[in-house]
Amino acid sequence: MFQLSVCAWQILFDCGVYIFVCVCSTGRIVVNERDQTSVDHIYAIGSVQHGRPSTTGLSVHAGKLLSFFSQCDYTIVPTVVLTPLEYAACGLSEERANLTFGEDSIEVYHSYYWPLEWTLPARNKNSCYVKTVVSLHCRDPEQRVVGLHVMGPNAGDILQGFVTAMKCGLTKHQLDATVGIHPGAAQVSILFFLLLRQKMTNCCFWHLLSFS
């Protein structure tokens, strides 16, 4: 049922009975696609799971679904880093997309943007950044958006609405056709002025962090 090179056994206490479940070498509990442990009637969710994203929102969501015996979708999970200049992401990174689809089967669109609240104090125009990763794979003839990354004020709030769209199969054409709310940050970041770029270097990301 589980294929791991290193396994251990962890003891859980359930209604006065000792129960053994399979854990990996890091101590996290091994689960299947339905969040079941090696014991069918024992489930594990959240950061105790092996090989799953560890975010508070995902843990709460998975718990709610489990209470209704529904399965959580772990494929498109948003996350945010609450640094002074927020970073939010959903879907694949450019590096992961290259490994998944091949370097010639993705396109990357990116742009710097200037939030409205930064115009009066004349803060740096090149501090905020957005990147959209689009699949050109034969399985995605409509250029499906597989990764969305935002760095700027309230990046998590900006990204939240696009998460649902990505789960519904958001395409680059649909993104281009979306009318933005003026003068919101989502309009100037994701919906405007995305430029095509083929390569991305890590130094660019750390250069942006230096402005925070």
Catalytic residues: 182
Cβ neighbours of residue 190 closer than 8 Å, sequence gap 6 or more: 130, 132, 148, 150, 158, 162, 175
Angle at 68 between CA 64 and CA 72, to 5 degrees: 60
d(CA 39, CA 20) in angstroms, rounded, equals 8
CA distance 174 to 144: 9
CA–CA separation, 60 vs 11, rounded Å? 24
Q: What CA–CA distance (Å, rounded) separates 103 from 80?
A: 26
Helix (H, G, I), strand (E, B) or coil at 115: coil
Cα dihedral 60/62/66/67 (nearest 10): 20
DSSP, collapsed to helix, strand or coil, labels residue 88 as strand
> Distance between CA atoms of 121 and 118, rounded to whole angstroms?
6
